[in-house]
A = this chain, B = another copy of it.
Amino acid sequence: MSHEFQIDWQRLQRTHVPEVVLAEHKSAEQLLTVATLCVERQQSLFMTRVSADKATALESKLPGMIHFHQLSGTLLVAREPLVSPVDEASSEATEPAGSNVVVHRAMRVAIVAGGTSDMPVVAEIEQTLLYLGEPATRYVDVGVAGLWRLLELTEKLSGHSIIIAVAGMEGALFSVLAGLVRAPVIAVPVSVGYGVGQGGHVALNSALSSCAPGIAVVNIDNGFGAAALAIKMLAVSET
């Protein structure tokens, strides 16, 4: 079973985004095979939807090369971990305590999330963007049921080039945001909800049916795809 991987090394050059491994349906053994291949070639590799068990299995075989981020389920195979600007300087220095806003000055991408239940997807976006060299600002728990929270942010949001909106339940955040800002809004529906909202399909369909034009929709829980799309959008200005 050892010859089954064929990594698309040219993908970064061809499409602005390198090949990333979706680990969810792969066995720990398969992940180890491809990780070892990268270590041997001295190439870094990024994985998404990695369970804690699989991460542990990888760490035991490739000590020091595996950097797992539990909340997001992302994993980096590399000599060095990802370092966020906000991990270097204390965010408390720039924002009052208790704030739900983690600001990185001069960030081009903002992540806006309806509630704390969306944090795993928010984290996948953040980690992917970090891996792709584009740290972002995060605004969490600004759902439309308390609209003032979002309205207060309007001016701040106008300073970002791209807004990634993350919401489950009914996904009303997507329409409200897209009606307020000039930046393109990338909608990431989240599988948070129950009853008819279970699985995130309501949030997805709300994003697709929005009466506010110009929303770019990605699959449910697809934080990686949203980050990749943001990178491609930013590159438009550089071509």
Contacts and interface: CB of A to CB of B under 8 A. Distances in A.
A222 interface: yes
A63 interface: no
A217 interface: yes
Interface residues of A, number: 110
Interface string A205-221: 11111111111111111
A68 interface: no
Given A26-B116, A233-B184, A233-B233, A176 B178 contact: no
Contacts of A14: 179-182
A40 B141 CA distance: 20
Contacts of A237: 236-238
Given A196-B201, A221-B194, A214 B16 contact: yes
Nearest to A217: B217
Interface string A176-201: 10111111101001011111111111
A232 interface: yes
Contacts of A198: 199
Interface of A: 1, 3-6, 8, 10-11, 14-17, 19-20, 22, 24-26, 30, 34, 37, 49, 71, 91, 95, 97-102, 114-117, 119, 140-149, 161-162, 168-172, 174-176, 178-184, 186, 189, 191-222, 224-225, 228-229, 231-239
